[in-house]
Chain A
């Protein structure tokens, strides 16, 4: 027994060290490999293997990025686009949440709305944009609308699926303790469907970023989509790349923020997420 114990304690630290070394190597690789790719890109540009008209060197893109940032132009475009996404998101997600929960809870509501949702959902939202331009004009309204519509269906369908997946015993508990419909909504349906709702929100957020860029390319005089489009029209290739990099950053950091928000809003899923 004693020997066994001693062997175990002797092995424990080295196993732990090996594990930590593995984790450190993983972290290092995940930083080194993209940097390596950038370096290769830079080198290939310098030796003339890459056509600078299409693939400007990362250093050139970075310096343009810095200039635009200092001038405040980039900042303004980002704020404009994010403002539109946020407004459109709110207009789309909030009614989708309420309707999605109602559809999940009530077969009658589901029967009434599902055919319409089924018919409208498959239409590419970009295809609706010209119509939205006619209805809402070139102002902010058409941008909010296209984002809202894109967000609406994804949040609606995921919320409905989430409510339908709630185990019926929870609804029985609610009824047994005398929960009224609004309380069932708030204390059972909403938290019970929260993990699904969050999946919908993540999908919708990605979709919203895509839609706003397209909408700004076609029908706006400001925003990141417009910035990229006007860079194309003036053959300002480095600025075009700056636009792409900026969108990539926005996407990356907003998804990190969503992860954090999820951990905060759905603490009871903590065990599974970790």
Chain B
């Protein structure tokens, strides 16, 4: 299943944190290959180091072992943009200003910037809230801003860290559908972290299962479901049910062992 010529290749990644007296091993020998244009989802029990892995891919943290290669296709565009977990939208900027942020940092001319911003603000359905501040928005609307901000810079790869984890079920489904719709237009390479099996299967071309800490890749499941996908219809198909079981099997054991580890630690 490893793509012949991967867009993102991580080999034997390791990450250790010094914590007081001891050393915490967050990642151990993680290897990963993501094909160009692939939507790759990573699921794992909480605390398995999936966010750490994404931060390393984003260049926000440096691994303590191993190497990463990301193929640059267009040096004029930013290498990656990240959609963070909730609360990453700047409270002191309006919706427009938030969406414009990446473009502004890249020195994009205000006229061009304005058009792009309007395009993405419209796309996530926030035209009427363009001048609103985040405290006037719901959680789902804030995450739409975050998604629009990442897409607006037209990054070569997109990294998403459980962006919809703290939303209610209905809002989450709607945002998943919106994300799929926007993604279909560009088919960017995506690495998407989640703890939800359903979400991983609904969005991804492939699901990687991570083990409990120290995290490493435990299994991979190809998701050969046709696109474009509709979240609710997809979930009611028998193929989907079978895939859920295939992801759950390897994951179950890891979730249980992460409980044991947590109990031992406390």
Partner of B105, one of A169, A183, A267: A183
Q: Give the shortest distance, in Å, between A269 (CB) and chain B (any CB).
A: 8
Query: Which range contains the number of A residues in contact with the other chain?
Result: 20 to 34
Partner of A169, one of B59, B87, B135: B87
A192 engages B92 (CB within 8 Å):
yes
Cβ of B60 under 8 Å from chain A: yes
Q: Give the shortest distance, in Å, between A167 (CB) and chain B (any CB).
A: 7
Given contacts A170-B90, A268-B135, contact A177 B60 (CB under 8 A): no
A residues at B contact (CB < 8 Å): 167, 169-170, 172-180, 183, 187-188, 191-192, 194, 266-268, 270-272
A-B interface pairs (CB < 8 A), number: 63
Q: Give the shortest distance, in Å, between B253 (CB) and chain A (any CB).
A: 32
Question: Among the listed stretches B75-83, B178-186, B231-239, which one makes contact with chain A, having 4 or more residues with CB under 8 Å of it?
Answer: B75-83
Cβ of B88 under 8 Å from chain A: yes
B88 engages A270 (CB within 8 Å):
no
Residues in B with CB closer than 8 Å to A188 are 90
Q: Can you list 9 pairs linking A and B with CB atoms under 8 Å apart?
A: A169-B88, A172-B88, A173-B101, A176-B60, A176-B82, A177-B149, A178-B106, A191-B93, A268-B92
Given contacts A177-B81, A178-B106, contact A167 B58 (CB under 8 A): no
B90 engages A173 (CB within 8 Å):
yes
Q: Give the shortest distance, in Å, between B236 (CB) and chain A (any CB).
A: 36
Using CB atoms, name the residue of chain A closest to B136.
A271
Choose among A173, A183, A187 the residue with the greatest number of B CB atoms under 10 Å from its CB: A173
Cβ of B153 under 8 Å from chain A: yes
Q: B94-114 interface mask toward A, CB cutoff 8 Å, 1 = contact, 0 = none?
A: 000000011011100000000
Given contacts A178-B105, A194-B92, contact A268 B87 (CB under 8 A): no
Residues in A with CB closer than 8 Å to B84 are 169, 172-173
A191 engages B92 (CB within 8 Å):
yes
Residues in A with CB closer than 8 Å to B135 are 268, 270-272
A175 engages B60 (CB within 8 Å):
yes
Cβ of B134 under 8 Å from chain A: yes
Given contacts A268-B133, A268-B135, contact A177 B101 (CB under 8 A): yes
Residues in A with CB closer than 8 Å to B93 are 191, 268
B88 engages A170 (CB within 8 Å):
yes
Q: Give the shortest distance, in Å, between A64 (CB) and chain B (any CB).
A: 48
Choose among A178, A179, A183, A271 the residue with the greatest number of B CB atoms under 10 Å from its CB: A178
Given contacts A172-B82, A194-B92, 9 further A-B contacts (CB under 8 A): A172-B60, A175-B60, A176-B58, A176-B82, A187-B101, A268-B91, A268-B93, A271-B135, A272-B135
Q: Give the shortest distance, in Å, between B144 (CB) and chain A (any CB).
A: 16
Q: Give the shortest distance, in Å, between B194 (CB) and chain A (any CB).
A: 18
**The 7 A-B residue pairs with the shortest CB-CB distance in the complex, in nearest-first order:** A191-B92, A177-B102, A268-B133, A176-B82, A177-B105, A268-B92, A271-B135
B105 engages A179 (CB within 8 Å):
yes
A152 to B58 alpha-carbon distance, docked (Å): 39
Q: Give the shortest distance, in Å, between B260 (CB) and chain A (any CB).
A: 30
CB within 8 Å of A: which of B18-38? none
Given contacts A183-B105, A187-B101, A267-B133, contact A176 B81 (CB under 8 A): yes
Residues in B with CB closer than 8 Å to A272 are 135
A170 to B134 alpha-carbon distance, docked (Å): 14
Residues in A with CB closer than 8 Å to B153 are 177
CB within 8 Å of A: which of B123-155? 133-136, 149, 153
A268 to B58 alpha-carbon distance, docked (Å): 29
